[in-house]
Amino acid sequence: MDLILTTLNARYTHASLGLRCLRANLGALRDRSAIHEFTISQRPVDIVEALLAEAPKVIGLGVYIWNAVESLAVLRLLKQLAPDLKLVLGGPEVSHELEGSEWLTLADHVITGEGEVAFAQVAAALLEGRPVPAKILPGGQPDVKTLALPYDEYTSDDLAHRVVYFEASRGCPFSCEFCLSSLDEKVRNFPLEKVLAALELLVSRGATQFKFIDRTFNLSPKVSHALLDFFLDRAALGLFAHFEVVPDRFPAELRERIARFAPGALQLEVGIQTFDAQTGQRISRAQANEVSEANLKWLASTGAHVHADLIVGLPGEDAASFGRGFDRLLATGPTEIQVGILKRLKGTPITRHDAAYAVVWSHEPPYEILANRLIAFPQMQRLKRFARTWDLVANRGNFTHSVAMLWERSGSAFEAVLGFSDWLSDRVSLGGVALARLAELMLEYLVWQGWERDVAGRRMATDFCRPGQHVPVVLQPWVKVVNAEVKASLPKRQARHLG
């Protein structure tokens, strides 16, 4: 192929919507192009070998915060091995703060912002040997009503094995300073009839999992109602949909639709980020906290999977304030809480607080905060370990019934899990602990905290009684007891199915 579109995804199940948007809008060049996706776990030299085997004339590389290090290694090798190859970069990581960067040195051209129109123009010029007017070219914000939709670019293999990323709109009306969407001027909706037709075609081809990347799914009632109705009308097909929602906007008609979804069919990502009103005001985040809290409690009563986000390190929020916000969020009953560490995304205005709060950022992707005036480096490291521990024991669903034992005798779940995190990190690497070892240590900690070993073991065992589930060795005696008790309580016909 003359033209290769490529990127490094975080994992195989992710499929790049950006590459598919670019290819769908190449016009006459589309048939001279191909998409080749890799993952960040692959060796850069192997990626380069695969790319050069196609003998392309132009390569378009998508660069993001999660693949920046690996992408730079790939770019260096391509420049060494094929100096005449034209390299065009795009993506959030190379859309801002380019001056003096190695990206600019190695690339032939960089397209900033949304690239569908600009990339097609650059690729055509390069393949025809015509000059390109500049090294850095602004992609701008193309009219989404005129863009070709990218969903035909998903292959049958994609639909069978990967998550389908989808967008019904671009942009965000809010101005949260930590987010790149704060740079957008407005929300731009794709034509609704085209969106629904594209969804229908994907479903007819076998797609079952849809992750919408819209920043504000429930901003427009017309759009959100139409999309939810689409999935409700096809509930018998077992479809799954993920949406990112504004936490304080759940009017009655939206609630009525959400309540009709079967458990597990709908996932809502709710970005709370902070419950501290002064911090929210400081970072230009408009959010009605009490309304958001009430909405979260209502969502917990539905069958929706609620993924709530909270951020460590926002300017003006110390560890104690974050902890109060965490406990407040947990009390609303979300399915999971994603504890994120504040990142300095290139181009975002969050850096305007650096001097006032003595913020220290990592210079390496993902550019996480290392310390500030209110949270010293050792405490920030503790909070990062807390985030990792919470993910291990709560978000992954392995200790659904027993994880609350960590804080049931404490006034604060945050303080209790932080203490467990300190204890755990002294004994094992949080980055690579196996489930069996984690179960051993959690049981040991609960006993050390005063729980009777048999009480803790039995309660942990209830989390591993599902058929076919791997049971940690330390819990096997209790699992046998619990299963026997359940079997004895069932009618004989049902009990036979338990073995």
Q: What pLDDT, in 10s, does the model give residues 412-452? A: 999 999 999 999 999 999 988 999 999 999 999 999 999 99
- The average confidence (pLDDT) of the chain is 95
Average pLDDT value for residue range 292-301:
97
| Torsion angle (degrees, nearest 10) of CA 88, 93, 95, 100 | -80
Q: What residue ranges do the domains of the chain occupy?
A: 3-138, 154-373
Average pLDDT value for residue range 235-239:
97
Average pLDDT value for residue range 296-300:
97
154-373 folds as pyruvate-formate lyase- activating enzyme (3.80.30)
3-138 folds as Rossmann fold (3.40.50)
Is residue 498 over pLDDT 60? no
Q: What pLDDT, in 10s, does the model give residues 162-196? A: 999 999 999 998 999 999 987 877 899 999 999 99
Q: What pLDDT, in 10s, does the model give residues 67-79? A: 999 999 999 999 9
